[in-house]
Amino acid sequence: MMQGKFISIEGTEGAGKSTALQFIKQYLTKNNIDVVWTREPGGTELAEEIRRLVLHPMSFEEIEPETELLLMFAARAQHMKKYILPALNSGKWVATDRFIDASYAYQGGGRGIAMDYITMLDKWIVGSTYPQLTLLLDIAPHQGFERAEKRGTDKDRIEQEKMDFFVRVRDVYLERAKQDPERIKVIDASVPLFAVENQIRDVLDEFIKRR
């Protein structure tokens, strides 16, 4: 069966993922690559409902870290089977705004859930369908926050966390990049947009050469 390529984009809040995605879309389209776009949590109708539940809950009941983790993986299970795998199996490229690394960073780093539990779910739900390339947009949390503030949109439940939460999130992302430098490419997202795009272009050029 023909297999497409799988790319994920990660980063802490306000790192510029959505902005970078626009650039990546244009880059891949220019290179005649048939790519589909998606995001996590979300990507299917049901997974988007879970996203709303976890990021914008209607209830004031506090969501336990374990519940949050399992909801992320419930959404991911649906997303994998209904969207990602069929697209990859039909030879399409898939680019997702966040994926598995976010669970390690946010629920592991941010919430302090033992990594072994996350690894267990990872092996079960993601298995070998790992992105071949992950662009990690790295920025100091306070700078990301300033950018997100300027955007002026309402904060979701996770965005309302305190700064030290996002410091832990960033630490886990960077640690994972250190452990898997072949897959996770760290992009310095603190610089002006054109300089971020230059770094992304270099990584994508290299990735396309290897495909």
Give yes or no for residue 129 binding ligand T5A (CB under 6 A): no
Tell me which residue of 97, 83, 71 sits closest to 8, measured CA to CA.
97
Say how far apart CA 161 and CA 207 lie, in whole Å: 35
Which of 16-24, 58-66, 118-126, 200-208 is the region at the interface with ligand T5A (rule: CB under 6 A)?
16-24
- Please pick, from the candidates 77, 140, 158, 174, the single residue that binds ligand T5A as defined by CB under 6 A: 158
Annotated binding site for ATP: 11-18
Say how far apart CA 98 and CA 144 lie, in whole Å: 16
Q: Which residues pair with 96 in a beta bridge?
A: 8, 38
Give yes or no for residue 16 binding ligand T5A (CB under 6 A): yes
**Other beta carbons less than 10 A from residue 59's beta carbon:** 7
- Going from the C-alpha of 173 to that of each of 1, 100, 208, the distances in angstroms are 32, 11, 24
Which of 30-38, 79-87, 175-183, 191-199 is the region at the interface with ligand T5A (rule: CB under 6 A)?
191-199
Give yes or no for residue 108 binding ligand T5A (CB under 6 A): no
Residues in touch with ligand T5A (CB under 6 A): 11, 13-19, 40-41, 55, 72, 97-98, 102-103, 106-107, 147-148, 150-151, 158-159, 192-193, 196
